[in-house]
Amino acid sequence: MKKLIFTLLAASCVVFAKPTVTTTILPTKYFVEQIAGDTLQVNTMVGKGADPHTYEPKPSEMKMLENSDLYFAVGIEFDEVWLPKLAASYPKMKIIRTEDGITKMAMAEHHHHDEHDHSAHHDDHDHDAHHEHGDKDHEAHEHHHHHGGLDPHIWLDPQLVKIQAKNIKDALTKQYPKDAKIYEANFDKFAKKLDELDAYAKQKLAGVKGKKFMVYHPSWGYFAHRYDLKQIAVEVEGKEPKPADLAELIEEAKEEKIKVIFVAPQFSKKAAQTIAAQTGAKVMEIDQLPLDWYETMKKTIDVFGENL
């Protein structure tokens, strides 16, 4: 009798188990959960504190893909390196490119700091065009964090997140049509929240338009472009700056009257602290890969507004 009960319980768990999907990074997990609600189990490959530029998945993380129906990529290095392998190992898993429909800008570099304003970049409406797949001007560029010359950090601009969210909603609707109404309603709610966050950012950052800030890893290009700010990268070709680079950065920080140097949990703080010690700037940590994306972004907007 006990064996029968156990068998029935096990069977019911299988029947009522939620479908599983996987994302590369935590912000995308947040976006999927906003749209899917409690209809899905959402796993993530690159967890808290890990650097998606260099991360290699553990066997346990690879194994969790066995039951994943969909994989939501965002176009970072991890995706470019691992997606071909994942697609070959798990052919039934559909890969969704959440960046589809977004025109990516060039990745900011320390030695091109005069180009950080992205003044030649498309107007906001051009973000709706299809994303680019290469950049001939960067073919000779060897970047430790290889982006193919393009900036992948599209999850830090609320309006670009809206495009990603629609791609997620469309993929979920196609895969799980019985929950289409849930996805549509949740997408509408989330899109409204994104518009509210965008309006909040415009209001909070109105007084610092045109201001420059330093950041170790230049992940805030889309955010800076959206709100008329200018980022200056500390890292040089994805690596710690050498003494000569540091001297140049210190001089630049003084010339530009830089008040704050941002660092992230995933990267070294050493160079930022060295520059700060010589210039009087503050070193502040902001997380570009949060799971609690909305609240963290709101706090980060406040940090920018109060410290530039």
One DSSP character per residue, 234-278 reads -SBTTBPPPHHHHHHHHHHHHHTT--EEEE-TTS--HHHHHHHHH
Cβ-Cβ contacts under 8 Å for 120 (sequence gap 6 or more) = none
Cβ-Cβ contacts under 8 Å for 181 (sequence gap 6 or more) = none
Q: What pLDDT tens digit does each residue of the chain (308 aa) get?
A: 555 555 545 544 445 689 999 999 999 999 999 999 999 999 999 988 888 888 999 888 888 899 999 999 999 999 999 999 999 999 999 999 999 999 999 987 655 444 434 333 333 434 443 333 333 333 323 334 444 489 999 999 999 999 999 999 999 999 999 999 999 999 999 999 999 999 999 999 999 999 999 999 999 999 999 999 999 999 977 789 999 999 999 999 999 999 999 999 888 899 999 999 999 999 999 999 999 999 999 999 999 999 99
- C-alpha–C-alpha distance, residues 257 and 248, integer Å: 14
Answer for the pair 41, 18: CB distance below 8 angstroms, yes or no: yes
- C-alpha–C-alpha distance, residues 66 and 75, integer Å: 22
Q: Which residues, listed in sequence order, are joined to residue 233 by a DSSP beta bridge?
A: 215
3-state helix, strand, coil in the chain (%, to 5): 50, 10, 35
Answer for the pair 190, 35: CB distance below 8 angstroms, yes or no: yes
Map out the domains of the chain with their CATH numbers.
2-102+159-196 (3.40.50.1980), 110-150+208-307 (3.40.50.1980)
Answer for the pair 251, 8: CB distance below 8 angstroms, yes or no: no
Q: Sign of the C-alpha dihedral, residues 59, 60, 61, 65?
A: positive
Please tell me the predicted confidence (pLDDT) of residue 145.
Answer: 45
- C-alpha–C-alpha distance, residues 277 and 145, integer Å: 27
**Tokens 């700060």, located at residue:** 276
Cβ-Cβ contacts under 8 Å for 87 (sequence gap 6 or more) = 93, 95
Please tell me the predicted confidence (pLDDT) of residue 241.
Answer: 92
Among residues 112, 54, 81, 106, the alpha carbon closest in space to that of 235 is found at: 112
Q: Sign of the C-alpha dihedral, residues 89, 94, 97, 100?
A: positive
